[in-house]
Amino acid sequence: GMGTDGDHVAFYSQDMNQGMQERMRIETGLRAALGNGELLLHYQPKFCIENGKIIGAEALVRWRHPVRGLVPPADFIPLAEATGLVVQVGEWVLEAACAQARQWKDAGLPPIRLAVNVSAREFTASLPGRVQDTLERYGLEPTWLELEITESTLMHNIDRVIGIMDRITAIGVTLSLDDFGTGYSSLSYLKRFPIDTLKIDRSFTIGLPSDANDCAIANTIISIAQQLKHKVIAEGVETVEQLAFLKNSGCDEVQGYLFAKPLEAAAFEEALRANWAP
Ligand code: C2E
Ligand code: CA
Ligand code: CA
Ligand code: CA
């Protein structure tokens, strides 16, 4: 009857209010975090599979919340994407990654490539100019920087997206296609994208070498990369068996807990020095 329906409505709207309040709390908090130094980057090394050298790192954002502690990106990036705040987060991340690269360059560390994740909403006509400006302000060669983009970025207006990609690669910054195979992939467009690297998603790495489907998918991605003259990296490598499979299949680079978790800047620097020490 009416009463039950009324209760129902009240229940749901209260529930929704709580959800909205939670979202608004995160949004307000994140907006403040951007300005008051609560965001930070961790760096997960990427290794050459052939010689075991660190050739780069992926910058991964975290939020050091005064009450909640270290908040993982999964708890705020999706909301930031929904609200558009991810654009400001992305600006902060690019700035922080380049500032760090400059410090490592000044410290005489081996030159590496720092990868920054770029969400679809950031992939606009103003991005190439901002990338170039940031590199110039920090006095960095473009080879210090890589942008990881996902298939969702490519779904939008293909010609517009390719135009932006071309402007980024013209600077000398490389692009890698993240989480490859998990989203909407159009192989006919793939050949038109000026990308350097395909990244095998952790959801495929996880089943290697026991799951025949994951093996087939990983081998196919490696083969496509080779045919298209792209490099290929596997993320989420946790076991020596996964590593052996990937090496045998011709994968170029690896990243994962088997080698290192995402590290604080100082710990990454130490790992880099140790890895390159003669
Ligand atoms: P992603 O780009 O696919 O990043 C890889 C995620 O897998 C990272 O989680 C990393 O810590 C985790 N990972 C790496 N190796 C292993 C492994 O061997 N085993 C397991 N279980 N996990 C591994 P994280 O740092 O929590 O980031 C999650 C996602 O948040 C990222 O997924 C990315 O989509 C997003 N993200 C992180 N930083 C940024 C950023 O600065 N901007 C944007 N737009 N998104 C970001
Ligand atoms: Ca990534
Ligand atoms: Ca992934
Ligand atoms: Ca991703």
- pLDDT tens figures, 261-275: 999 999 999 999 999
Ligand 2 ion: nearby residues, β-carbon < 5 Å = 117, 148, 178
Nearest to 31 by CA among 93, 86, 95: 86
Q: Quick check: CB of 236 below 6 Å from ligand 1?
A: yes
Distance from the CA of 47 to the center of ligand 4, in angstroms?
18
Residue 49 one-letter amino acid: I
Ligand 1: which residue has its CA nearest to atom 35?
73
Rounded Cα–Cα distance for residues 156 and 122 (Å): 13
Q: Quick check: CB of 147 below 6 Å from ligand 1?
A: no
Ligand 1: which residue has its CA nearest to atom 45?
117
Ligand 1: which residue has its CA nearest to atom 23?
236
Give the tens place of pLDDT for each residue, 197-244: 999 999 999 999 999 999 999 999 999 999 999 999 999 999 999 999
Ligand 1: which residue has its CA nearest to atom 13?
236
**pLDDT in the model for residue 248:** 98
**pLDDT in the model for residue 3:** 44
Give the tens place of pLDDT for each residue, 26-80: 899 999 999 999 999 999 999 999 999 999 999 999 999 999 999 999 999 999 9
Q: Which helix or strand (DSSP H or E) is residue 54 part of?
A: strand 54-65
Q: Quick check: CB of 235 below 6 Å from ligand 1?
A: yes
Ligand 1: which residue has its CA nearest to atom 41?
61
Distance from the CA of 190 to the center of ligand 1, in angstroms?
23
Rounded Cα–Cα distance for residues 190 and 155 (Å): 11
Ligand 1: which residue has its CA nearest to atom 22?
236
Q: Quick check: CB of 128 below 6 Å from ligand 1?
A: no
Across-strand partners of 126? none
Residue 143 one-letter amino acid: T
Distance from the CA of 170 to the center of ligand 1, in angstroms?
27
Would you call 121 exposed, middle or buried from its count of C-beta atoms within 10 A (0-12, 13-18, 19+)?
Answer: middle
Average confidence (pLDDT) over 133-143: 98
Ligand found nearest the CA of 151: 4
Q: Quick check: CB of 117 below 6 Å from ligand 1?
A: yes
Cβ neighbors of 157 (< 8 A, separation 6 or more) are none
- ipTM of model: 0.97
**pLDDT in the model for residue 2:** 43
Rounded Cα–Cα distance for residues 238 and 235 (Å): 9
3-state helix, strand, coil split of the chain in percent (to 5) is 55, 20, 30
pTM of the complete model beyond 0.90: yes
- 156 — pLDDT class (breaks 50, 70, 90): confident
Cβ neighbors of 138 (< 8 A, separation 6 or more) are 98, 99, 101, 102
**What whole-number percentage of the chain has pLDDT above 70?**
94
Question: Which atom of ligand 1 is found nearest the CA of 237?
Answer: 18
